[in-house]
Amino acid sequence: GQNIDQPTEMTATEGAIVQINCTYQTSGFNGLFWYQQHAGEAPTFLSYNVLDGLEEKGRFSSFLSRSKGYSYLLLKELQMKDSASYLCAVRDRGGYQKVTFGIGTKLQVIP
């Protein structure tokens, strides 16, 4: 099985940088996703890491350390529209390659 931990809430200031951490325990790791979910809307894909290191995509970056069971999502130059929940999700190695989602981190961006 899998266990995923991430903070439930965070607050950051517009224009700043925020890091959202995710730790996981899994019997067979095969990739980690970050999804963004605005209130009342569907989750949308942000990033995917399967190898150690940093993946950068515009203002968003995601880091993975498989040996530590750790990932973070880095958001730079925060904008008000970044206020949303950020879901960490881990895929396992089984035949079905199940994806397990964390509870999500609700980020509030304040002026």
- Footprint of another protein (CB under 8 A): 4, 8, 31, 33, 40-45, 48, 50, 87, 89, 91, 96, 98-104
Tell me the closest approach of the beta carbon of residue 17 to another protein, in angstroms: 25
Alpha carbon distance 26, 45 (integer Å): 21
Residue number with CB closer to another protein (74 or 99): 99
Tell me the closest approach of the beta carbon of residue 98 to another protein, in angstroms: 7
Beta-bridge partner residues of 10: 107
**What are the CA-CA distances from residue 78 to residues 21, 73, 106 (Å)?**
17, 13, 14
Tell me the closest approach of the beta carbon of residue 43 to another protein, in angstroms: 5
Reported as half-sphere exposure (CB side, CA atoms, 13 A), residue 92 has a value of: 16
